[in-house]
Amino acid sequence: MRSVLLIGVLLLWGSASYAQQPIDGVDARSNTDEFAKQLGSTDPLLRQRSAEALARLAATKHRKLVEGYQLQEKNKEVRLALDWALYRMGRSEALYRVVADLDSGRQEQAIGYLSELESPDLLYPVLNKEKNRPRVTAGILKALALIGDLHTLEVVKPYRESHEPYVAEAAEIAHDEIEKRLAEPASQTRGRPRTVSTTGDRP
Q: Is 163 helix (H, G, I), strand (E, B) or coil?
A: coil
51 and 131 assigned to the same domain: no
pLDDT-flagged residues of the chain (< 70): 1-29, 186-203
Predicted local confidence at residue 135, as pLDDT: 97
In this structure, are residues 152 and 116 in contact, taking their beta carbons and an 8 Å threshold?
A: no
Domain count of the fold of the chain? 2
Q: Is residue 56 part of a domain?
A: yes
Q: For 165-194, give the DSSP string.
A: TTHHHHHHHHHHHHHHHHHS-GGGSPPPP-
Q: What is the pTM of this model?
A: 0.79
Which element (helix H / strand E) includes 56?
A: helix 44-57
pLDDT per position as a tens digit, 127-159: 998 889 999 999 999 999 999 999 999 999 999
Q: Residue 9 sits in which domain range?
A: 1-19+26-91
Q: What are the start-end ranges of the H helices in 58-119?
A: 63-72, 76-88, 94-100, 107-114
Q: Using only C-alpha atoms, what is the Rg of the chain?
A: 17
- Helix (H, G, I), strand (E, B), or coil: what is residue 201? coil
Q: Are residues 2 and 53 in the same domain?
A: yes
Do 201 and 120 have their domain in common? Answer: yes
